[in-house]
Structure 1
């Protein structure tokens, strides 16, 4: 019967997963999958344990069954039931413990470890969950007491009963502490989960009901025997004395009061039972019909008792008749599944359990039946079967992992489907317990993985495409979607990833993009060489004109001022061409991926100061350099040649495009990971329109007028920044000056070969 007890909420989980696998939508529904699965499993175990407990009315059997089942369910090292006696003392009366730990059976707790205040707290329903016997708020005497039995974690739930000894035949209003249901974890420290606590409380309630039923049954049996003995004895003494008769009548009245009390208790249990309960006599006439049976079948008690054929006409089939005969013959029989019609005409599936019903003479007078409606559970079971079929046979790989850890080594894999093994080449048993990161390799995009880590750290869903590696080392492109799954409390417990091999699609796109890049490179080369030839023509023309003037004009040659001015023109033109060639060479090497990057330890503060002093010597006094740097450690692992190129271009631009002079501010700061420096001038600035193309080769602002320049400085600086895995940000406005902010990684390593 237990395998069909799955809650109705699982329908929504099944639909959510199925819809996600096919349509990749409604991701929120899947967050409850694990919670429902755990809840279903717990309810199934509870029902199984309850059934096992209810199979016997013998108290010892009930208790032994309870501790054994709880130990198996919770995977603990020891489970025991501690009985509280009337004098306040108590002892372990039932125990199930692993062989490598000492037994507590029969041991009595001293007043120090079980004081009166504990007794009072447990009487009020207190549950005590001790995750760590050494760290939690645990009394020293209690910790020392349980340590001798190897206990590291402990969960205690009270078993409460009502006082049935009232002289008026009514139960006491307040419960009393019958005993404790205790679970011990000895092998390791165990944080008790809320569902485990709730599970223990439910089981304690079931034990309490079973104890009450067992005691009531024993009491009823004993009362019946006592009654018979007393009647026989009093009958023999009837003639002896009227006084004896009066005593007998008095005793009978007491016995009848006790029987009425017992009958009232049994009736209360039947009415309160969540299962349908009814009794049949040997003629299949219904005598008792509880509210749960009315809810299941739809007929009220008056209807079914007046017309029992409404029920029996549909279930009196061959299997039922054989089941009934076995029950009436006293043959132990398991439950029977039947299909029945309700009052409204709809059909339901039930599980029927029964036991013989005895009369006062111990003769079988009928049977008592317990009914569970399993219609919804069977429907859910079919949906689960279909869902499992979808997951198993889909072409997309499905991977389920634990929720944490997010950092290395990563969450462990709990499940992979067959499609995963076909795509990756790994068998399921090879991946279980491992992390999905075993599929990553040198070409797996760190940028995409950083996106995944960002989403995972915020418990958000994400879809990315990366290169992964099969078991044989071959590469393949995979598109995977990652979704977090939470339990009913909102606590995230698992990740579900659906992966699809998109290698062929990406290959078609690596071809298309390559063609587009070739076209773009061809266009850029044509434009680059056209602009380069134009930029070389200007200084060459200037140098040639100055040289011809000196050659052809004796006056120009003999005049020191004219001779010096023309020679400076030739020198400046040559310098400009050398700088242009250097810039073009750097850009060409960077584009070809051959620009060398050799980081070494440098004191950036000293480098900046030295470079600024060199620049200051080569410019007029109208420029003032303001260098700002704190007393912090300024050592970093950078390429000195590239750093000088960045500074040279930024400071040259600041000077060149500040024709009226003024302050040029340079600031430098470092933190644990980054280098941040800024160059700010008070020059002509750059329009917002020009800023869109400012890092393109030979592009210059429309407001530069006759200021000499190549339009390569910022592009060269950006190439050098890129090699440091950094960023460059420009903020400017016309006639308001320009600020360039550089952010570099402080510790750069040489690229791998």
Structure 2
């Protein structure tokens, strides 16, 4: 029971006593402190609520009430604290004693202990009263020192102000709306808001606002525990920006725990490997997602990283469906030891380089197309001269054939067709054969390069050089060919098409260089030392300045007039030379011509041997099956083979040949490749797959240019003893018969 009388008598000037009528009003009994007019609104509702509680529980209750001056801003001196003491009287009425207090903090009534606890907290604490929002809302009645430091206001400076004093333009209206809804419903709320310090700077806080009930069940205060989360939000923003960068750069993170054999990865890495967001997998599970062609290399490099021999840096292809685009991943990682552990861990990143790879593949395709166009351009420069060159000997042949026809039709004497005419026919035929041999080599240039193998650079260049010499001579260009006896065989690791391309490009370049000079000469020299083989092409042209020489091997660099040349010839030549392990250099001076020198590593292991001269022995009783759909070729070869003592059976195509194979045993088969019904390639496969016919020597004869890069050449080499190019010479036939 509260001692109301004692307090009343102590200071009657600052007290008053009222009586509750049991309804909604309070009657002033005595005292100089006039409070009746102030008992309205939420204060009146609280008093009525508390009075009813006292009657129900036959008890007394005391609480504090705060009033602030409604000026520009209350100060601690403007704060008025009243103590309301309610007591149940013996007659059943409720007596209310109101006393104005000199306390300036709510903690004055609970002692220093709780004050110390509040001030020792690591969070800012703000306490407000709890009036209706319609009465101006909560006012701060206490703030601990940490909140004062956080906001820049003094502890007492904030008393009497609404917490809204801390709000500003960047304070979220949505957050304010949610806080108001919680206050209206007397509900706790956790919210993040942006507040303003006294100096106008912003800081972010997480508010935990809770309503406080007294023991009567009345909400008397709001307590807000606040934590400055500016640093945390800055860190989260940094993480967000990092994640944005990671997302935009297609980068994912992973780590490998060796002790547990577990690979932990983020969502991005899992998706890269087609693992459907699986967070952890075993190392074998991960390796099985890698294409088989790359798996062993990745495993080896991972082991090196685990043993700290080297950081992991590897690129590999991921297994994918045939219908989907291939994907490549680049993986980089480093290993380290965790504290107090001898086990090593590996952490790293993966990023999708599929587009980079696809772009590189596309770029390589365009590069190959450009090179192919450059090759075709260089061949195109030969085309005009070839037509004229081949027509000259052809005119001789046609004229003499007409002469023979005229002799027969007019019964002219023997003196009309003499031995000199026969020599002219032979010479014209040899000239055409020489051109065809040159074109056979040149045509292979426009095809894909073969695998590198030991070849004789001099021999590979011979036919091409002869053809170019003949063509250039028509333009008044003197081509000199120099090779010593000891340099007759220059063995290098290369392919014939590449060597011919180098020679064509350098000679075409030399031809253009001497176009406007009076002395038009080109020299081609082959020589070798113990370690290298060298090709030198020198011209007597106008030469080049040092600036031009410095850029001469750059793609699309050309000094020729518009429409003449692609600017790719020398760049492509440099690429081919370097692909053979060689180097190309240029020496030139204005008015003194130009020298291009190509040095290749010499291939050791081939001795220089002289070619054997083939004798003409008799070959009686050898039965030859000749398969060719060209009747004229068949007749000429039949006559040649018959003259050598062979028995000949002819067939028009592969099917016809198989029928005759069933009826007769043959010692040798010569077959053309391009024929109707069943061509030569198919025939050779059938014959070689038959155990009765497999041992018979078989040779392919063709007038076409076949590159070693063609698929058909592999089949021909597998199922024949060799290839003979048309026109077939006597020595070719004798060499074949010698081997049968």
Larger Rg belongs to: 2
- TM-score of the two chains, using structure 2 as the length reference: 0.31
Report which of the two has the higher share of helix: 1
- Between the two structures, name the one with larger relative contact order (CA 8 Å, sep ≥ 6): 1
| TM-score, length basis structure 1 | 0.30
